[in-house]
Chain A
Amino acid sequence: MTSTIPSTQAPDKDEVARVFKEMLRIRRFEELASRAYTQGKISGFLHLYIGQEAIAVATADLMKDGDRVVTTYRDHGFAISLGCDPGACMAELFGKKDGLVGGVGGSMHFFDKDKGLWGGYAIVGGHLPVAAGHAFASKYLKDDAVTLCFLGEGAMHIGATHEGMHLAGLWKLPVVFVIENNQYAMGTPLKRQTLVDDLTVRAPAYRMTSDRWEVNDIFETRRRLAEAVERARKDHQPALIELLTYRFRGHSMSDPAKYRTKDEVEGWRKKDPLYRAEQRLRDDHGFDDEAIESIDDAVVDEMQAAVDFADASPQPDPEHRFRHHLVEDV
């Protein structure tokens, strides 16, 4: 199976620098969101993507026009990687008028249809049937698009997940289900949620192909995801992929993550794809502190500008609360 991304060629310096910067954009966005939360500028639930950035960046790289991402409430990373305006994203977190969806959704409900972000979904597992429905429409309309549906490992134990996967397999829909196994469903480790170690063991029952790996190297992740996506596009072969990853923060801002050890966190830090990309730039491509800092400075400036934009944006107009419940509510 040929992927859209050349897999044999080692990525050159510019490419490593680009993905490093893209991952860093998400991390810095999240860190500034975290700070804004502690400053009281963001309320509600805020689930950060720190540690998982490589997945969103790899995904954005391999998508073609018309492809869709459907994901969970941990959705900021995909918004940034898919090219949504960071200012609009931050303004959404701030509950402002210029937010991505006008301030009605907040952190857990990012949508940017034109950019391919078909939703952050906040009811666990409820989005899998919807993603299967997008793929059903793609097959029906012959639009050649693939739907990439992301879920946490905690979503593997609820009914809607399996109904969505079952129908996708039964009807051979062009959808790729990607489990972002970040080891904990809120505070519950995987081993207390299920007796299986490998979550892709469910794939054969739904006649899905499967793949499973630890997300250390963004380029490997991109290549292997692209293989599944192209099979879905060409053969309408759905897939179930498990990505072993880690979130360095708690489940949400209110979670101090006391259920895991320092050693465990440190172990994963060494495998952090962002850290590894930085090491690669230093070791293989001669980047020094100054070169790394110059990338970082540009990213921090961009994300600080997003915060400033969100700060300056007004609250939504009071009348806005009546809009869009039905199509008549314009």
Chain B
Amino acid sequence: MPILQIREALREAIDEEMERDDRVFVMGEEVGYYNGAYKVTQGLLEKYGEQRVVDTPIAEAGFAGVGVGAAMAGLRPIIEFMTFNFSAVAFDQILNNAAKLRHLSGGQFTIPMVFRGPNAAAHMLSSTHSQAFESFYCGFPGVKVVSVATPYDAKGLLKSAIRDDNPIIFFESEVMYGVKGEVPEGEYLIPIGQADIKRPGSQVTVITWGQGVPITLEAAKMAEESGIDCEVIDLLTLRPLDRDAILQSVKKTNRAVLAYHGWPYGGTGAEVADLIAREAFYDLDAPVERVCYEDINFSYAENLEELAIPSPKQIFDAIAKVAYHSL
């Protein structure tokens, strides 16, 4: 099976969907002549031309809104944010237009579009460039939110996102574009709304997504060496949640840890913890643990940043804690 980087898997998804449907186009800063800030769109301008691979000035509110307007008029835009940090200045377009216009128009308009780009901390970029936006974009109705961590998931889910008739927020990771993995030849789709068990296990459920996935798998390996068998669930879709996958696993293991790149206050981690507390309370043998960012703005300094981000060791400690395992 071919081995691809995440950026290549994303590119294949976009390429195949553009090939398949003339209404699909990519728009964003540096997506064309520069071949993509992170090379996701490399080669697409040459293949599809300026009409369908559209370089924009630095005007996120402008081109996010153009995407919404184009989607309402029958196109299927893929709007690339160089990083989701810059989506903050386009927030009104996503919150008040993309997410609301179908409802506001009584179902007259359909908004089939994808907002995609890297999310969460990269490396030493300080506070404005290190933010996890999942709590913002999962915090209102009218959108679906996806987060990927492997080339296989990246391709299958981006293709589904492009074909979905709703606005989709699609999170990638700046530090994971080079991550390699198997991607089958030929077309496949991964349904939005389904979590994936990245590692089956019986004693502790660890729920994660995005950049949390590799560190959680590392923590699960550490746990295995200590005799604790973890099940790692990659949510993949953060809104709507795959409640069944979460509850089924927790009811089996009776223990749950949330491990993710994101702030602790509110958001998906809190939502999942709440779900488990309400729907699986009597199945729990220990309180739910959460390992995530510290509740602070990020610093540039390497040591300060490292301390704010969850480590495999911290996740392992949380696993050990819910398993009442003496360290």
Residues of A participating in the B interface, judged by any CB pair closer than 8 Å: 100-102, 104-105, 109, 111-113, 118-119, 121, 123, 126-138, 140-141, 159-160, 163-164, 166-167, 170, 323-328, 330
Contacts and interface: CB of A to CB of B under 8 A. Distances in A.
A119 B166 CA distance: 19
Most buried by B among A118, A136, A138: A136
Q: Which 5 A-B pairs have the closest CB atoms?
A: A133-B69, A129-B65, A163-B62, A137-B73, A101-B106
25 contacts: A102-B106, A104-B104, A105-B106, A113-B105, A119-B101, A119-B104, A121-B97, A128-B65, A129-B62, A130-B72, A130-B97, A133-B69, A133-B73, A136-B66, A137-B73, A137-B74, A138-B73, A160-B61, A160-B93, A163-B62, A164-B62, A167-B57, A323-B107, A324-B107, A327-B110
B103 interface: yes
Nearest to A126: B92
Contacts of A163: 59, 61-63, 65
B68 A111 contact: no
B75 A137 contact: yes
B108 interface: yes
Interface string B44-81: 00000001000011010111111111111111000000
Interface size class of B (residues with CB under 8 A): 35 or more
Most buried by A among B97, B103, B105: B105
Contacts, number: 138
Given A159-B61, A170-B57, A327-B166, A130 B69 contact: yes
A202 to B, nearest CB: 15
Nearest to A108: B104
B65 A104 contact: no
B133 interface: no
A169 to B, nearest CB: 11
B271 interface: no
B104 A101 contact: yes
B61 A109 contact: no
B107 A133 contact: no
Interface of B: 25, 51, 56-57, 59, 61-75, 89, 92-93, 96-97, 101-110, 141-142, 144, 165-166
B61 A134 contact: no
Nearest to B101: A119
B166 A126 contact: no
A160 B92 contact: yes
Nearest to B95: A123
Given A129-B65, A133-B71, 20 more contacts: A104-B103, A113-B105, A126-B92, A126-B97, A130-B93, A130-B97, A132-B65, A133-B65, A134-B73, A135-B69, A137-B75, A141-B73, A159-B89, A160-B92, A166-B59, A167-B57, A167-B59, A167-B63, A324-B106, A325-B142
A129 B106 contact: no
Contacts of A328: 166
Contacts of A330: 107
Nearest to A326: B166
Nearest to B140: A325
Contacts of B64: 129
Contacts of B65: 126-130, 132-133, 160, 163-164
A111 B102 contact: no
Contact of A134 (B63, B72, B110, B142): B72
A326 B61 CA distance: 22
A323 B104 CA distance: 10
Contacts of B68: 129-130, 133
Nearest to A66: B73
A166 B106 contact: no
Contacts of B59: 163, 166-167
